């Protein structure tokens, strides 16, 4: 395990927290419908969470750079516990939005976990560590939706209170694990440690930690700044496919929240398998950019299958292809970013990238819902295929720059 015991502890804590998050995912769209909502308001629950993460992510990352990873990680888990309790007691559409918005504001653990991985690993193991974080999400998301669906009431009367209280409990366990066994990993002394910084790639311009950094320092030169754009594009594709699945299954297969829970579980298992068995090997053998191209080809193939005749094969084959193909992109981008960023602002850079991903998760579900409502339940997957193609074009451009010695 790259990063040793400290990384293992935070990895397990994130897994437990994601299990809780996954519990409420298949239930939220159906609760939204019982409160008079529609596809747009249902995907809006994903977007409001992402919007608040966009606001809070860079803040959590910067705070972790200055005050340490451990106290900020504890703060995010405390916020998660409170947000699930708020969700369990929501009795209206407004209450659902309030709970999910607060949860998004507290969701800084992803950025901090990425910064922790950068703290604890060398450039050789960086991609593998990012893959393990993705695997924790995959396994957590494989388990969570199934549990949430089982405890979500009946198709005629869906209930989110029990899954939400369960989720609060899992976040409390993550909080306890972090408090008891996660040490501080932030160390100013190794800012320029060559074993942690890829000197073959031009770093984003930075100065000593005492100097204030601006967003311009992260976004310039332009090729470095473009990495952040593709965090947004990747997140749009992932969140659009993820958010629209419950409504697609309800509209075309006439499934309820329990069946959707197991459907999402299948996608989570596919993601976990890819993250644990393939990503590290792919990154080491082919590099991040080539790996992302392969992932996008797989996702595009799955998305095009979703445009065909409606059938169970789409849930069993096509959706897992989309989820597992796109999941290669996120750790790939994180690995490239961490290798091009000074350790003194790892938290801030990864926090900003997490914020850009959150912005993509705002636009993705809402765009998918608009296409779903105005045109067809199938067509949001055409948007997913298009975004995957754009990512392939960028990755090929980056590979060409590497060939010419420009990266």
- pLDDT tens-digit series, residues 320-374: 999 999 989 888 888 778 776 666 666 667 767 877 887 888 899 999 999 999 9
**What pTM was estimated for this model as a whole?**
0.76
Give the mean pLDDT of 142-161: 85
Higher pLDDT, 183 or 405: 183
Query: Is 108 within a domain?
Result: yes
Query: Is 359 within a domain?
Result: yes
Higher pLDDT, 237 or 154: 237
Q: Is 184 exposed, middle or buried (0-12, 13-18, 19+ CB in 10 A)?
A: middle
Percent of the chain exceeding pLDDT 70 equals 84
**Do the beta carbons of residue 343 and residue 190 sit within 8 Å?**
yes
- Tell me what pLDDT residue 53 has: 80
Query: Is 203 within a domain?
Result: no
HSE-up of residue 56 (Cα within 13 Å, Cβ side): 21
pLDDT-derived band at 135 (thresholds 50, 70, 90) equals confident
Query: Is 21 within a domain?
Result: yes
Query: Is 195 within a domain?
Result: no
Query: Is 317 within a domain?
Result: yes
Query: Is 192 within a domain?
Result: no
Structure tokens at 24: 């409420």
Give the mean pLDDT of 274-295: 88
Domain that holds residue 264: 4-182+217-403
The structure tokens 């972090």 sit at: 178
Q: Is the pLDDT of residue 117 over 80?
A: no
- pLDDT tens-digit series, residues 15-28: 877 888 788 888 88
Query: Is 187 within a domain?
Result: no
Give the mean pLDDT of 68-82: 89
Residue 274's CATH number: 1.20.1250.20
Number of domains in the chain: 1
């Amino acid at each position: 395990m790259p990063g040793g015991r400290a990384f293992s502890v935070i990895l397990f804590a994130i897994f437990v927290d994601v299990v809780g998050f996954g519990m409420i995912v298949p239930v939220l769209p159906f609760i939204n419908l019982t409160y008079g909502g529609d596809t747009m308001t249902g995907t809006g629950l994903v977007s409001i969470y992402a919007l608040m993460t966009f606001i809070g992510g860079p803040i959590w990352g910067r705070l972790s750079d200055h005050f340490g990873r451990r106290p900020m990680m504890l703060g995010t888990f405390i916020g998660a516990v409170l947000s699930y309790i708020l969700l369990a007691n929501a009795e209206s559409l407004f209450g659902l939005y309030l709970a999910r918005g607060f949860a998004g504001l507290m969701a800084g653990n992803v950025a901090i976990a990425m910064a922790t991985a950068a703290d604890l690993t060398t450039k050789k193991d960086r991609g593998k560590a990012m893959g393990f974080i993705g695997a924790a999400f995959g396994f957590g998301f494989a388990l969570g939706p199934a549990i949430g669906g089982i405890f979500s009431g009946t198709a005629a009367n869906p209930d989110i209170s029990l899954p939400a209280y369960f989720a609060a409990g899992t976040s409390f366990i993550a909080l306890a694990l972090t408090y008891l066994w996660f040490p501080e990993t932030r160390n100013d002394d190794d800012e320029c440690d060559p074993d942690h910084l890829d000197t073959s790639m031009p770093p984003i311009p930075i100065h000593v930690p005492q100097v204030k950094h601006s967003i311009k320092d992260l976004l310039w030169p332009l090729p470095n700044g473009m990495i952040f754009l593709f965090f947004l594009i990747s997140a749009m594709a992932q969140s659009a496919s993820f958010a629209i699945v419950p409504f697609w299954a309800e509209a075309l297969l006439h499934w309820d929240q329990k069946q959707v829970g197991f459907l999402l579980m299948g996608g989570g298992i596919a993601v976990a398998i890819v993250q644990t068995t393939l990503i590290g090997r792919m990154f080491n053998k082919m590099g991040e950019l080539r790996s992302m191209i392969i992932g996008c080809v797989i996702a595009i193939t799955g998305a095009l299958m979703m445009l065909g005749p409606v059938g169970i094969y789409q849930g069993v084959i096509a959706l897992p292809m989309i989820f597992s193909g796109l999941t290669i992109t996120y750790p790939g981008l994180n690995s490239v970013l961490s290798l091009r960023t000074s350790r003194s602002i790892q938290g801030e850079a990864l926090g900003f990238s997490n914020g850009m991903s959150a912005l993509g998760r705002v636009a993705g579900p809402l765009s998918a819902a608009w296409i779903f409502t105005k045109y067809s339940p199938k067509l949001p997957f055409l948007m997913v295929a298009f975004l995957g193609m754009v990512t392939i074009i960028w990755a090929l451009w980056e590979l060409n720059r590497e060939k010419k010695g420009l990266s």
